[in-house]
Amino acid sequence: DTGVSQDPRHKITKRGQNVTFRCDPISEHNRLYWYRQTLGQGPEFLTYFQNEAQLEKSRLLSDRFSAERPKGSFSTLEIQRTEQGDSAMYLCASSQKTGAYGYTFGSGTRLTVV
């Protein structure tokens, strides 16, 4: 078990470009979460998958954002037509069963939009 892996660790992109991030959760965890963290703030919930089903989406997840977990294993988060306000750390987490178990977080992908 290598924990939750996120790729890439850092991404610099020009405004208007599309970016895609990948998250590989802990293999036996059926729940996967995406969070966004801006400087000086705590993580904010974006979306949640149970297996391949996307069960919840935050209002923060605008139409430019899309997340998938096609086979219930890894997940991708795509941002289309990036804006400077999208610059943040994007964190992925996974868990077993309910939130009582806590989440295991990846190291995050830091996105900078220039």
Rule CB under 8 A: which residues touch other proteins? Answer: 4, 6, 31, 33, 40-45, 48, 50, 55-56, 91, 93, 98-100, 102-108, 110
List all residues 6 or more positions away from 80 whose beta carbon is below 8 Å from its beta carbon: 18, 64, 65, 66
Least Å distance between CB 36 and other proteins? 11
> Nearest-CA neighbor of 10 among 87, 110, 92?
110
In the complex, minimum distance from the CB of residue 46 to other proteins, in angstroms, rounded to a whole number: 11
CB of 41 to other proteins, least distance (A): 6
